[in-house]
Copies of this chain bind each other. A is one copy, B any other.
Amino acid sequence: MSLNTFESQAAPRPLLFDPAKLNGLSERLIRSHWENNYGGSVKALAVVKKRLAEALADKDLPPYIYNDLKREHLLRTGSVVFHEYYFDNLGGDGKAGATERKVIADAFGSFDLWETEFRRIGAGLGGGSGWVVLGLNTHTGQLENYWLADHAHGPAATQPILVMDMYEHSYQMDFGAAAAKYIDAFFANLQWDVVAKRLEAATRQETK
Protein backbone atom coordinates (compact mmCIF):
# COMPACT_ATOMS: atom_id res chain seq x y z
CA MET A 1 0.00 0.00 0.00
CA SER A 2 1.86 3.00 -1.31
CA LEU A 3 -0.35 5.89 -0.16
CA ASN A 4 -1.54 6.79 3.30
CA THR A 5 -5.33 6.85 3.73
CA PHE A 6 -5.57 10.63 3.61
CA GLU A 7 -3.32 11.06 0.58
CA SER A 8 -4.34 10.77 -3.04
CA GLN A 9 -2.67 10.48 -6.42
CA ALA A 10 -0.79 13.59 -7.56
CA ALA A 11 -1.95 13.60 -11.16
CA PRO A 12 -4.45 11.98 -13.53
CA ARG A 13 -3.35 8.73 -15.14
CA PRO A 14 -2.47 9.31 -18.83
CA LEU A 15 -4.51 7.75 -21.59
CA LEU A 16 -3.02 4.49 -22.87
CA PHE A 17 -4.15 5.22 -26.44
CA ASP A 18 -4.06 8.11 -28.90
CA PRO A 19 -7.44 9.86 -28.52
CA ALA A 20 -7.20 11.10 -32.10
CA LYS A 21 -7.37 7.53 -33.39
CA LEU A 22 -10.56 6.10 -31.94
CA ASN A 23 -13.19 4.89 -34.33
CA GLY A 24 -16.31 7.05 -34.07
CA LEU A 25 -15.46 8.81 -30.79
CA SER A 26 -13.97 12.26 -31.36
CA GLU A 27 -10.69 13.45 -29.90
CA ARG A 28 -12.52 16.51 -28.55
CA LEU A 29 -14.98 14.32 -26.62
CA ILE A 30 -12.32 12.04 -25.16
CA ARG A 31 -10.03 14.93 -24.20
CA SER A 32 -12.85 16.87 -22.55
CA HIS A 33 -14.00 13.77 -20.69
CA TRP A 34 -10.46 12.95 -19.53
CA GLU A 35 -9.48 16.49 -18.56
CA ASN A 36 -12.69 17.89 -17.12
CA ASN A 37 -14.65 14.99 -15.71
CA TYR A 38 -11.98 12.48 -14.76
CA GLY A 39 -9.29 15.12 -14.12
CA GLY A 40 -11.78 17.19 -12.15
CA SER A 41 -12.49 14.25 -9.86
CA VAL A 42 -8.78 13.61 -9.28
CA LYS A 43 -8.44 17.22 -8.07
CA ALA A 44 -11.67 17.10 -6.06
CA LEU A 45 -10.63 13.88 -4.33
CA ALA A 46 -7.40 15.51 -3.17
CA VAL A 47 -9.40 18.45 -1.75
CA VAL A 48 -11.84 16.11 -0.01
CA LYS A 49 -9.06 14.04 1.58
CA LYS A 50 -7.39 17.17 2.96
CA ARG A 51 -10.69 18.38 4.38
CA LEU A 52 -11.43 14.95 5.88
CA ALA A 53 -8.12 14.95 7.76
CA GLU A 54 -8.93 18.41 9.16
CA ALA A 55 -12.53 17.51 9.99
CA LEU A 56 -11.49 14.34 11.77
CA ALA A 57 -9.33 16.40 14.12
CA ASP A 58 -12.30 18.66 14.96
CA LYS A 59 -13.90 16.91 17.92
CA ASP A 60 -16.95 19.21 17.93
CA LEU A 61 -18.00 18.45 14.39
CA PRO A 62 -21.32 16.55 14.36
CA PRO A 63 -20.83 13.11 12.81
CA TYR A 64 -23.59 13.66 10.24
CA ILE A 65 -21.69 16.70 8.92
CA TYR A 66 -18.54 14.59 8.79
CA ASN A 67 -20.47 12.04 6.75
CA ASP A 68 -21.46 14.67 4.18
CA LEU A 69 -17.74 14.78 3.35
CA LYS A 70 -17.52 10.98 3.46
CA ARG A 71 -20.25 10.82 0.83
CA GLU A 72 -18.16 13.08 -1.40
CA HIS A 73 -15.18 10.84 -0.61
CA LEU A 74 -17.08 7.76 -1.78
CA LEU A 75 -18.40 9.57 -4.86
CA ARG A 76 -15.04 10.96 -5.96
CA THR A 77 -13.22 7.70 -5.28
CA GLY A 78 -15.74 5.93 -7.49
CA SER A 79 -15.35 8.57 -10.18
CA VAL A 80 -11.55 8.32 -10.22
CA VAL A 81 -11.41 4.53 -10.10
CA PHE A 82 -14.18 3.81 -12.61
CA HIS A 83 -12.87 6.43 -15.04
CA GLU A 84 -9.42 4.77 -14.96
CA TYR A 85 -10.98 1.39 -15.68
CA TYR A 86 -13.07 2.97 -18.44
CA PHE A 87 -10.30 4.72 -20.34
CA ASP A 88 -8.01 1.71 -19.95
CA ASN A 89 -10.55 -0.55 -21.64
CA LEU A 90 -10.79 1.72 -24.69
CA GLY A 91 -8.36 2.01 -27.60
CA GLY A 92 -8.74 -1.50 -29.04
CA ASP A 93 -10.41 -3.05 -32.05
CA GLY A 94 -13.50 -4.33 -30.31
CA LYS A 95 -12.73 -8.00 -30.95
CA ALA A 96 -13.01 -10.29 -27.94
CA GLY A 97 -10.56 -13.20 -27.76
CA ALA A 98 -11.60 -16.83 -27.52
CA THR A 99 -10.71 -17.16 -23.82
CA GLU A 100 -12.73 -14.22 -22.56
CA ARG A 101 -15.59 -15.14 -24.86
CA LYS A 102 -15.64 -18.59 -23.28
CA VAL A 103 -15.43 -17.37 -19.68
CA ILE A 104 -18.26 -14.90 -20.27
CA ALA A 105 -20.34 -17.45 -22.16
CA ASP A 106 -19.90 -20.01 -19.37
CA ALA A 107 -21.18 -17.50 -16.83
CA PHE A 108 -24.06 -15.94 -18.77
CA GLY A 109 -25.19 -18.89 -20.87
CA SER A 110 -23.86 -17.25 -24.03
CA PHE A 111 -21.58 -14.37 -24.98
CA ASP A 112 -24.48 -12.75 -26.83
CA LEU A 113 -26.69 -12.85 -23.76
CA TRP A 114 -23.98 -11.05 -21.82
CA GLU A 115 -23.66 -8.38 -24.50
CA THR A 116 -27.43 -8.03 -24.76
CA GLU A 117 -27.74 -7.38 -21.03
CA PHE A 118 -24.73 -5.05 -20.88
CA ARG A 119 -26.08 -2.94 -23.77
CA ARG A 120 -29.59 -2.92 -22.36
CA ILE A 121 -28.42 -1.58 -19.00
CA GLY A 122 -26.54 1.13 -20.90
CA ALA A 123 -29.61 2.00 -22.97
CA GLY A 124 -31.70 2.32 -19.82
CA LEU A 125 -29.20 4.82 -18.40
CA GLY A 126 -29.41 7.05 -21.50
CA GLY A 127 -30.35 10.63 -20.65
CA GLY A 128 -29.23 10.20 -17.06
CA SER A 129 -26.05 9.26 -15.22
CA GLY A 130 -24.30 6.11 -14.21
CA TRP A 131 -22.06 3.21 -15.10
CA VAL A 132 -22.41 -0.30 -16.47
CA VAL A 133 -19.91 -2.68 -14.91
CA LEU A 134 -19.13 -6.27 -15.76
CA GLY A 135 -17.55 -7.43 -12.54
CA LEU A 136 -16.35 -10.54 -10.79
CA ASN A 137 -17.88 -10.67 -7.34
CA THR A 138 -15.01 -12.19 -5.37
CA HIS A 139 -17.33 -13.18 -2.52
CA THR A 140 -19.97 -15.08 -4.51
CA GLY A 141 -17.60 -16.05 -7.31
CA GLN A 142 -20.06 -14.83 -9.92
CA LEU A 143 -19.47 -12.81 -13.03
CA GLU A 144 -22.30 -10.29 -13.37
CA ASN A 145 -23.35 -7.04 -15.01
CA TYR A 146 -24.21 -4.24 -12.64
CA TRP A 147 -26.24 -1.05 -13.02
CA LEU A 148 -24.81 1.88 -11.04
CA ALA A 149 -26.81 5.10 -10.69
CA ASP A 150 -23.78 7.25 -9.93
CA HIS A 151 -20.12 7.12 -8.82
CA ALA A 152 -21.16 6.34 -5.22
CA HIS A 153 -22.95 3.14 -6.14
CA GLY A 154 -21.04 -0.08 -6.50
CA PRO A 155 -21.34 -3.84 -6.16
CA ALA A 156 -19.95 -5.26 -2.91
CA ALA A 157 -16.57 -7.03 -3.02
CA THR A 158 -16.37 -6.86 -6.80
CA GLN A 159 -13.42 -6.51 -9.17
CA PRO A 160 -14.39 -4.50 -12.27
CA ILE A 161 -13.68 -6.34 -15.53
CA LEU A 162 -15.26 -4.09 -18.17
CA VAL A 163 -16.59 -0.61 -17.44
CA MET A 164 -18.78 1.70 -19.55
CA ASP A 165 -19.43 5.30 -18.53
CA MET A 166 -23.05 6.37 -19.15
CA TYR A 167 -22.82 9.90 -17.75
CA GLU A 168 -23.93 12.20 -20.55
CA HIS A 169 -20.46 13.75 -20.71
CA SER A 170 -19.38 10.43 -22.28
CA TYR A 171 -21.41 11.04 -25.44
CA GLN A 172 -23.53 14.23 -25.64
CA MET A 173 -20.76 16.20 -27.39
CA ASP A 174 -20.57 13.67 -30.25
CA PHE A 175 -24.01 12.10 -30.31
CA GLY A 176 -26.41 14.43 -28.50
CA ALA A 177 -29.16 12.34 -26.94
CA ALA A 178 -28.42 9.31 -29.17
CA ALA A 179 -26.98 7.11 -26.44
CA ALA A 180 -27.39 3.95 -28.57
CA LYS A 181 -24.87 5.27 -31.12
CA TYR A 182 -22.38 5.88 -28.33
CA ILE A 183 -22.81 2.34 -27.04
CA ASP A 184 -22.06 1.01 -30.54
CA ALA A 185 -18.94 3.19 -30.72
CA PHE A 186 -17.88 2.09 -27.24
CA PHE A 187 -18.08 -1.58 -28.24
CA ALA A 188 -16.21 -0.91 -31.50
CA ASN A 189 -13.27 0.57 -29.56
CA LEU A 190 -13.10 -1.96 -26.75
CA GLN A 191 -9.60 -3.01 -25.76
CA TRP A 192 -10.25 -6.68 -25.00
CA ASP A 193 -6.63 -7.46 -24.11
CA VAL A 194 -7.06 -5.33 -21.00
CA VAL A 195 -10.39 -6.97 -20.22
CA ALA A 196 -8.78 -10.40 -20.57
CA LYS A 197 -5.99 -9.48 -18.15
CA ARG A 198 -8.44 -8.18 -15.55
CA LEU A 199 -10.53 -11.32 -15.88
CA GLU A 200 -7.52 -13.55 -15.45
CA ALA A 201 -6.26 -11.63 -12.41
CA ALA A 202 -9.67 -11.56 -10.73
CA THR A 203 -10.37 -15.23 -11.41
CA ARG A 204 -6.98 -16.27 -10.06
CA GLN A 205 -7.59 -14.34 -6.86
CA GLU A 206 -11.13 -15.62 -6.53
CA THR A 207 -10.23 -19.26 -6.88
CA LYS A 208 -7.66 -19.17 -4.12
Contact of A62 with B84 in the complex, beta carbons under 8 Å: no
Q: Which of the 9-residue segments A17-25, A91-99, A132-140, A189-197 touches chain B?
A: A132-140
Contact of A169 with B124 in the complex, beta carbons under 8 Å: no
Chain B residues, CB < 8 A from A154: 153-156, 158
Q: Which 9 A-B pairs have the closest CB atoms?
A: A154-B154, A63-B124, A172-B172, A168-B168, A36-B177, A67-B124, A70-B147, A81-B156, A68-B68
- A51: interface (CB < 8 Å): yes
Contact residue among B143, B148, B151, B208 (Cβ-Cβ distance under 8 Å from A1): B143
Measured CB to CB, the residues of A under 8 A from B are 1-9, 28, 32, 36-37, 40, 44, 47-48, 51, 56, 62-74, 77-78, 80-82, 84-85, 106-109, 113-114, 116-117, 120-129, 136-160, 167-169, 172-173, 176-177, 201, 203, 205-206, 208
Contact residue among B1, B80, B156 (Cβ-Cβ distance under 8 Å from A206): B1
Alpha-carbon distance between A88 and B186 when the two chains are bound, in angstroms: 36
Chain B residues, CB < 8 A from A69: 65, 68
* Interchain residue pairs with CB less than 8 A apart (26): A1-B106, A1-B136, A1-B141, A1-B142, A1-B206, A2-B141, A3-B142, A4-B108, A6-B108, A51-B65, A56-B117, A63-B126, A65-B72, A67-B121, A67-B147, A74-B146, A85-B156, A85-B157, A128-B150, A129-B167, A129-B168, A153-B154, A154-B155, A154-B158, A172-B173, A173-B176
